[in-house]
Amino acid sequence: MANATLTRVGLIDALVKEVGLARPDCALLLESVFEEITTALAAKDDVKLARFGGFHVRDKRPRVGRNPKTGETAAIKARRVVTFRPSHILRARLGDAAAMAEG
C-alpha cells in the first residue's frame, strides 16, 4: 500500500465527517487552531497536545557546514527550529503499526 499524505483538505473532510459541521465552518476551525499554534511557537512558547505530542522551539547556533557533493564549506546562520516529541500514546500506536506491517 502506498503512503498517503494527510493535507488540510483531508483534515477538513475528517472534521466534516466526525463533527458534522458545514465545510466552511470546519475550514475556519482548523485555520484557527493552526493560527493559535503558530502564534504560540512564534512567541517561543511550547505547544502540548494531549495524547499527540509537543512542539518546542529551539535556537540553533551558527555553524560551519559542508556541501556533501563538493566538500565546500559554507556558513550556516543561527536560526530557530521547531522540534516535535510524540506522546507515549502516539509512540505506542506507531510501534503497533510497525509491528503489524512486519507481521
Task: Tell me the pLDDT tens digit for each residue of 43-64.
Answer: 999 999 999 999 999 999 999 9
Q: Quick one: pLDDT band at residue 1, thresholds 50, 70, 90?
A: very low
Please say whether the structural domain 44-103 has been given the CATH code 3.40.50.150: no
Residues of each domain in the chain carrying CATH 4.10.520.10: 44-103
- CA-CA distances (angstroms) from residue 40 to 36, 54, 65, 83, 86? 6, 12, 30, 14, 18
Q: Quick one: pLDDT band at residue 98, thresholds 50, 70, 90?
A: low
Q: pTM here?
A: 0.77
What is d(CA 49, CA 47) in angstroms, rounded to the nearest whole number? 7
As a whole number, mean pLDDT of residues 62-72 equals 93
